Structure 1
Amino acid sequence: MRFTRRDMKMIEYLRDYEVVELKAMSEYLGVSVKTLKNQLKELSETLKEFGVDVQFVSSNQILVKGHEKFAEVMSVSIPRFEMEFERRFLLLLVLHDNFLTIQEIADELLVSKSYAEKHLAAIMKKYPEDIQAQRHYGIRYAASQNKRREVFVKILFPYLFGEDYIVALEQFDNLHFPLFHYFTKEQMFRTRGAIQALQRLEWFQLTDESLQQLFLYILFLTRHADSENTEKPVAVQEDFINTQEFDGLYEWIPGWCQEFRLPDSKEELRYMYTLLLSLRKQKIACQDQIMDKMRHPIKEILKGISERLSADFSEDEDLIEGLSSHIYTTILRGNHLDVETDEYMLKSMKRQYPFGFEMAAIAADYIADIYNLSMKENDLIYLAIHFQAAIERMKDAGEKTKIIIVCHFGAAAARIIRSKIERKLVGVEVTGMYSLQEFKQLKNPDCDYIVTTERILKADFPIIYISMALPEREMQKIKEGIKEIQVNHLLELNILEAIILPIEEKNMESAVKAMVQPLLEEDFVTEEYLQSVLEREEMSSTSLNHIALPHGNPAMVQNTRLVIGRMNHPILWDDSKVSCAFLFAVSSEMLKEKPMLFNTFYRTMADPEVEESIKKLQMEKNLPDEVFRQKLFQILR
C-alpha cells in the first residue's frame, strides 16, 4: 500500500488528538466532511494493523486509541509515501545520460503521453538550468555530476529505512519506481560491502542517517563506474584536501575505491573525501582538535544566546562538543549535499522543543554572519536537538532504571530522549545509547526493555517505539499520568493583560506589522523589533495548524507584553491557515528572572488540543475581546 499526501496529513492530525471533530479536521485538510469520512474509513483499516483504533462515535466525532503506536506508523508510512510525478521524472532523468523522448518517459513511468506532456512544461520551467529540451532529440538532465548525484540521493533518501537498505530499495522498486532496471544486485551488494568497510574507520563514526545517504551515493557511483560514462565531478576547493583534523583519511580512500571498484580518478577521490567529511558524525577521533578550531565561533554563539535568552551554557562541555562537530561538518558541507527536510518531524520538533528551536535560530544567525552560510531547516533541527539536550540536562533530576535507547538521529538526539525519560520517570537507569548499527553488535544488552526510534526486526526484550520528538502520548506507554508543563502565574498575568487586536490584514507580514504597532506606540519595543520578528519568520515559520506564535529579539524589548491578533478571516501563514496569532514580546530582563517563560508559553500554546480550542473560540461570532480573554484564560488553565 502507498500513502498519499492526504493520508500523511490525516495520520499527523489523528496523532495529536484523542477525540477528533470531523468538521474541524475537514477544514484543516480542505475537503468536505463526507469525503473525509470515506477516506478515514479506508485509512482506519491500515491503522488497525498497527494497533491504532479509529472509532466513529457520532456523525461529527471519532475516537482515536493507541497513540503510542503512531511512532511505528510514521516509520512505516514515510517510506510508503506516494511518489509524485515530478520526482519520478527527475529520478528517471538522472539515471539516463542521453536524451529521452516524451513517449519513452511516459512508457517508463507508466503514464499516458498526454499526462506526461501536461506536467513536463511546468517541471522544466521549475528547473531551467538542470533540464535541457532539444527538438528532434527529447529531454535530458544537463546539470553536473555533483548535482546529478545529489538529486538521486535527495529523492531516494526518505524511502530508505531499517537495518537492510537493499530490502528498503526492493520495496521502493515495488511501490514507486523500477529502480532495479538500473541497478544490479551485484552493485547493491558491492555498495553494502563498501559501507561495512566505512563503518570500521578509525577517524570517525557516521550517524545512521549519514550511512543511509552514503549508501545511496556509493550505489550511484558503482553504476557510474560500471558504465561507459567518463564524466567527472566538479573539483572541490583545495582547503578540503588540506584539512589536518583527519590526517591519513585521504590516503586511505584510493585502496578502498579499488577494493569495491569505485571511480578512482583524482576528481573522484577528492569528491569522496569531501563527501566523508561533510556527512554528520557521532564519534570523532580528533574531537579535541575540532573543538579547538571551533572554540571561538561556539563561544560567540553561546554568548549571543545568553544575551538574548538569558540561558548560560558556557560550561556545558557536552553541548560545546556536540555543537563543535556539528557546525564544523555543516561549514564543510556548505550548500552541497542537500537533504529534504522531514516536514512532519519539523512540525513535531517545533511543538515539543520550542526553546531549543529558538536557540538554533539564534545560532544560525551567527553562523550566517561568521561564515556567510544560510542554514536550511534540516540543519536547524539538528542544532535544536543539541540545544534541547542541554536544556534537558539543566532540568535533569531523575533516578535510574534499566533502559537502552536505540536512536538513528545520533548521540545528541539520544541524550534528549535519555534526559526526558530520566527526568519524568522515577527509578530509571539508561544503561546505554546506541545507533541501530551499534545495537546489532550487542551480545548481552543490560536492560529490561528497549526504547527505539527505528524499526528493530528481532530483539529479546520488549520494544517501545517512539519518535524523535517523544510527545507525551508516547511516554504513556512507559508511565501513565505524565502531566504537561503547567502555566505559571506570570504567564497567566500576561494573558490577562494582553493587548487584543482585530486583524483585517490579509497576509502574514501585514498582520505582524499591525501587531507590533501598539508595542511601538507604548515604547514597549524598539524600532528594530519589527524587523527581528520578520527575519525570524523568514528563517522558519512560527505557524502551527491554526495559530501562529511570532516573536523577535528580546534585546529589543523594553517591557514584556503579549499581543493577540484575532483574524477577521484566516490568513495564509506559510502553509497554515491562521485564525489567531500570539506575539509574545519578552524582554531580556524578564528572561533572566524567568528563563523558561518563553518555553512554557510556546509549549502550552502548541498543544494540539489547546490550539483546537482557541480556533473554536475565535470562530464564535460577535465575541467581545474581554470575553475572549477570559475564555482563553480558562483554556490555558
Structure 2
Amino acid sequence: MHDKLSDLIRILLKSESTIVSKDLANQLKVSARTIRNYVHEINGLSDSQIISANNTGYYITDRLAATELLRIKQEVGSHIPQNSEERFTYIIQKLLRNSSLDSFSLANELYISYTTLKRAINFINKRLNQWHLKIVSSHDQLSLSGKEYNKRQLFSYSIYRENTGNLLNSAYLEKSFGKETTDKLQTMIDQIIKKYDLQLNEFSYNNLLLHLLILVSRLSIGKTINQSSSPDRSKVGKYTIDLAKSIKKTFSANISASEIQEIDILFKSNANLYSEISNQKYFDKAFTKNIQLIISKVSNMYLVDLSSVKFIQPFSIHLYNLLFRLKHHQTLRNPIKINISNNFPLIYDIATYVAFQINKIWQVKVSEDEIAFIALHIGAEIERQKHNPEKLKAELIVPTYLNIREQVHDFFRRNFTKDITIVKETDETDNNSDFNSYDLIFIIMLQNEKSQTNQKYIQLSPFSLNKQKAKIQAAIDEASLQKKKNLFKKRSLPFFSNDLFWNIDTKTTKEKITKKIYLKMKSLGIVNTSFYSEILQRESMGSTAFNKIAIIHPMNYNSPQTKVAVLLSQQGIEWDDKLVNMVFIISISEEYKDVFRNMYENLMEFLSDEKTFAKVLNAQSIDEFYKDLLL
C-alpha cells in the first residue's frame, strides 16, 4: 500500500464527518477521479468494505480493518504486494520457481486472508487465459497447470517485465559497492570517454560501470586472475590501457593480462565497437561451442535470447575467469548477492540454470555468490534489450587491403550507429555462418550471388560511399520495417480477434459505430461501464483521426483486458471534419500499458503505405487483416 492510500485512510479516520472527494483531492494534491480509484484500491485490500460513500462524501465503514491496514503498512513497508497487479507478479514468480505453494502460507506472506487470496487467484486465472494456463488447488496446494511450452512463454513475458533497471541505477550501485569506489570509477570512465571521444549512452555507461565495479571488488580482496596467456597488446584499445593504469594506481591493485582483456571487452561492447570484438579470437572452438550450447539451452528453457555479441563476449570472459578461479579453489564474495536473489528472482533462476549447465559441462560447482555475478550479466543484457530492441544487427563483408575496412567501418559508425550495430566484419563470405543472425549483410566490392537474390545482402562499392547513403538508408528502413512487423506479430496479434472485426458497406456515423463497438466489448467483459464515457472524454480533447484512420483509446489503463476492435469502411465515416476508412478502438489494461504506445505507432506506420492501406481495407476477416498488414 503506497503512501497516498495510507494518507487517505488517516484523513478519514481523523474526521468525525464525511468528506467530499474535492476536499480529499485538495489535501492529497490529486484529482477527484484519483480519489475514487484510491477508494476502490483500498476496499480491494480487505474482505470488508473499509470506505463507503453517500451523497455527503466519503467515510470509514470498518475502522478496525482500516487501522489494521495502517499497522501492516508500518510493519512491512511497501515491499509486500498491495494490489491485484502486484499480487499477480508475486504469485506467478513464485509458481514459476516452485512446483506448488501452500495456500495458507502464501496468504500469510501477503498479509491477506484466505478469502482474499482466493479472489486474487480468480483474477490471476483470467489473466492466464492468454497463455492457456491456470492455477489449480488441491488440498490447499496451489500449482500452475498447463503445457510446459506455455509456462516458458509466461516466464519469458515475466522476465522482460521484471524491474531490471535497478541493476543499472547509479544510486543502487553506490549503495551496493560504496559511494567512494563508485565515484572514483565514474571519474576515470568520464576522463577516458572525453579523451578518446567514445560514444556511450546512459544505459551503456551504467552497464560498463557495473561490471568494472565487480572487477574492482574482486581485485580489492586480492582475487586477481593470473592466466598464463596474455592478450595481444596491438588488439587492446589505448583507452583500455589508460583505464587499467588508472585502476591500478587508484586502487593499488595488480591487474593481470586476462583482466586487461576483460576491461577491453567491456569497453568495446558498451561503446559500439562490437566488430572489434568479433574479429578477435579470445577462446578456443570447444569453449565457444559450449557457450553457444548454454545460450541455446536457456532459450529453449526460458524463451530468453542471450545470443547477442554484447552479452556473449563479456559473459564468456567472465566464465573463462570463473573456471580458472574454481580450478584453483578460489571464490568471490558478491556484495549484492541477497539483493539480486530477492529483487530479481527470475533472473537469478536463469543464472542458477546456467550454473547447472556449467557444472554439467566442466564438472565444477558454482557458489551462490558466483551465481549472482552471472545474474548481473543476464540482467544487464535483458535491460539492454528493453532499451534498444529495434536496432538492426549487420555484418560487413569487406577486404582488408589499402585500409578499406577501417574506412568502411568508420563510415558506418559515423552515419548509421543509431540504426544498426556492426556485429561482425570479415573479408569473405562464410557459407557456414548463421545467416539468420543478421538483419543486413553489406558486401563491399566482393561479388556474391546471394546479394542478387536475397534482400538481406546489399552490394556496395568501396568508393564514394557518401553517394550510396540513400541506398544504405533505404535498405535499413526496409529491414527495420520488417523487424517491426515481426515483433508486432509476436507481441500484438493476440489482442485482435474475429469477435471484434467488421468490414461494413453501409453508411454510418462516428457516434453509432463507437457505441456499437463499446457495447460489443462490454458484452465480452473486455471493458468497464465507464469505458464509453472515457473514450468520449478523450475525443472531446481533440480528434483521434489522422490520414483516414481513427485510433480511439481512453486516457487511463483500467480495462479488464487489452483488446483492439477493428472496423473497416469502403464508403468512409465522417469523423469530425475528416473522412476515415479505418477505426481502431483499443482498451488498455494496466499490465499492457507499455505495449500500447508501440502498437499505436506500428499501426500508423504500417498503414502509412498506400498499397498496404488499400489491401487491408479489403480484408474480410481478421486473418486477412493480419496477412495484408504484415506482408
TM-score (norm 2): 0.29
Which is bigger in relative contact order (C-alpha 8 A, separation at least 6)? Answer: 1
Compare CA radii of gyration and give the structure with the larger one.
2
TM-score (norm 1): 0.29
